[in-house]
Structure 1
């Protein structure tokens, strides 16, 4: 068996792992990265990127269908009312287009690792101790490479949570299978009204499925501010998505074509389903690769780390989903970059002022920093204001006037501590929101910055102006 030696060994080539590898290579740290699948991890291969591609394709198809019905206020149609052309979607081509994007991005990651001198070892790692792993190729039970290192970075990512009474298989699928459909099911039941369930459920509805969403809580997106959720719930209603809230899933019936549910009053029902998407969360990938051999201190399901991503074992680090919430690719990237710099001798700590979270529903939701409720719980006196997109010219031109931008600032000094927004394309506002908090901006800074017209960003300036008592366009 071949034995390799390196300074930094990274297990997992997802966003955190590959960024750590690239940065370590830039800094001259001898680095080996072990990845069993394609570089890019869940995010590039079976998560963020392919889901946004599918969402875009579904949205474009849904718009085309509305034009065919001659109902578009834009005056676009595909024929007369008597002879309208009904759009069709070639799902095989759509999936191939999505896969092409994934392949281009994962290939780019591989090229960047190579350019920066990182050795990519393809295969699945098994940890022997805090300095040693063995790697076996895909499909093999025998290890072919042993790697010894000075620093071990654990970046194993996460897995979809499986319901014990409804295991994955047959008609029951996870988000992974949902992103590469062979066909569009006539009836789709989505278990879980979090962001993954609603993003994919909305996409499938736009592609033609009859979609029912089952959620144990009494509203969708229970982790989000209720005011932010209202426009999303209204949009789901317009699309014809059925919501079964305050309802528990009991499992599949005997023939495997119906889902048994029970509502809050105890009444049971059966939901017809050609496919069932279980989207009740994700969990750190901690089993199956020898992690238990390190006997690390845990924090629930996650590995416990400090503000430098150090674990309880010297020179063993953990980042991304393995290190717990929030399970976000951009958090993992920032942690990976930091660990690489610490290993190279730099002094760093992971102490972001805010980490943005985006829900790519229709409309989208962005949350950065503290909400009014968060501030109230923390005992912080605040000034807050929102600006509706119904008063924003750009929102009108893109037919997306539902929603608003809200700013939260400390009353004492007007320092901004939070932003929230819901609306079409508001994900693109996330960077500006985060920068304002990271830089310690005050309401006056945002209000006094000239924002381009016509853009959605004007709503950001107007929210700050309104918090100061002198909004211009409302």
Structure 2
């Protein structure tokens, strides 16, 4: 203890106010537990402040401009003028409304809010360092702790974000004046989403990626429509290259890349966005002081109740490992809080959907065909193209498809892959089908509203059973 240090107590200490932490805190308080939520930054975490919400706001805004500019075949002729400073103001307003809402919800549910950075002293005490000169620190004794410290962008050695020409994804989302030329390192989901935003703002975008395609981990036919659209937007791709060096110039930056044979290439740009993934934030917490085990990548290992190797300490969200998804974090937060409250809660990781807000969108849940085969199933596949969807054609967005993966004998749905308009919304029906143990017949026999994009899910189920009406059966 330091001189003047104040010690308080709480039943549940939640560290981090992102979508895992604030949800856990609210649920714990709803269960009658004295709950304290500590965060060093802003309520809502990276997702609401610097990630999911601001990026989707900018994606929506640039989509409006792009769609208006490219709707001549619908008889709409427009040349919109984009004021990016006003776009940023609107985006910030969305963020402020949501983060303010999180704070109000926490208070309304009786959660004690505390600003500061938490560090474990042992497995029942944490020290909270308050920001600002003269703010000092205090100690909190806890019965249970939930770690929800999230993640941050990975920094490539030599390309640290403190250098002005080099952006993190957070920097890119705060730009009021877009550069003329942008070099993006990384063609994963963050790189592709932001590349598309800037291309639609009129920026000359070049992407370098050390692998041989975009968004590794997704099947080729799923990413193909996204790559095609990016090409149409004028985004230039250079695969098989890794950034190796850079030099600041009077006009911006010159970046050197290298392929596996040692050949070097140079690219000049005004700014450089490094988007090569994210890593957990755990070291500042000093988990070892509480006896919490951390793997070589900084992730905290947990069981199906979000519990770490220390019985009274839990971890949720990005810091607890893949998949790094906000909705997965929220579910883990609920489970951790309910387990602490004595409820029989546990995680079911089988049906966690994922979405990428590229153009067109990608969304997946459950198993692919290859994964189903590897798991010992004989997969049955149904697919429906959006070019055969009346609703998709009437919106001018008909790239992509819905694919359902089921097991052969009874037709239980194992997974789904969707690429196309509103994929992030459509995947919810597929996730529910997996969660409920629905079959292809269940989905096919459910009457879907016409004309809607959701009909494509029904048609894919019919296609798997050789009963599709609006596409040829496989």
- Check whether TM > 0.5: yes
For 1:410-429, list aligned pairs within 5 A.
410-429=407-426
Equivalence for 1:311: 308
In structure 2, distance between residues paired with 1:217 and 1:423: 24
Shift of 1:131: 1.2
Equivalent residues of 2:12, 2:145 under 8 A apart: yes
In structure 1, distance between residues paired with 2:291 and 2:265: 45
Shift of 1:265: 4.5
Please tell me whether residue 260 in structure 1 is matched to residue 256 in structure 2.
yes
In structure 2, distance between residues paired with 1:329 and 1:300: 23
Shift of 1:299: 3.3
In structure 2, distance between residues paired with 1:455 and 1:140: 57
Please tell me whether residue 334 in structure 1 is matched to residue 334 in structure 2.
no
Shift of 1:295: 3.5
In structure 1, distance between residues paired with 2:413 and 2:189: 26
Equivalent residues of 1:134, 1:143 under 8 A apart: no
In structure 2, distance between residues paired with 1:281 and 1:363: 21
Please tell me whether residue 250 in structure 1 is matched to residue 244 in structure 2.
yes
Shift of 1:270: 0.8
In structure 1, distance between residues paired with 2:427 and 2:97: 25
Equivalence for 1:361: 358
Please tell me whether residue 155 in structure 1 is matched to residue 148 in structure 2.
yes
Equivalent residues of 1:385, 1:463 under 8 A apart: yes
Shift of 1:91: 1.3
Equivalent residues of 1:352, 1:438 under 8 A apart: no
Equivalence for 2:116: 123
Q: Which runs of 5+ in 1 are unaligned?
A: 79-85
Question: SS at 1:428's partner residue?
Answer: helix
Shift of 1:74: 1.3
Equivalence for 2:47: 43
Equivalent residues of 1:153, 1:317 under 8 A apart: yes
Equivalent residues of 2:122, 2:291 under 8 A apart: no
Equivalence for 1:275: 271
Please tell me whether residue 176 in structure 1 is matched to residue 173 in structure 2.
no
For 1:44-443, list aligned pairs within 5 A.
44-66=48-70, 72-78=72-78, 86-140=79-133, 143-168=136-161, 169-253=163-247, 255=249, 257-301=253-297, 302-443=299-440
Equivalence for 2:11: 7
Superposed CA deviations along residues 178-236 of structure 1, whole A, max 9, x for unmatched, are 11103101111111100000001100010111001111111111111111011001101
Shift of 1:468: 0.2
Q: Which runs of 5+ in 2 are unaligned?
A: none
Superposed CA deviations along residues 95-122 of structure 1, whole A, max 9, x for unmatched, are 1110111110011111111111000001
Superposed CA deviations along residues 440-472 of structure 1, whole A, max 9, x for unmatched, are 000000010000000111110000000001101
Shift of 1:277: 0.7
In structure 2, distance between residues paired with 1:353 and 1:63: 36
Shift of 1:399: 0.7
In structure 1, distance between residues paired with 2:184 and 2:240: 14
Question: SS at 2:405's partner residue?
Answer: strand
Shift of 1:157: 0.4
Q: How many residues align?
A: 463
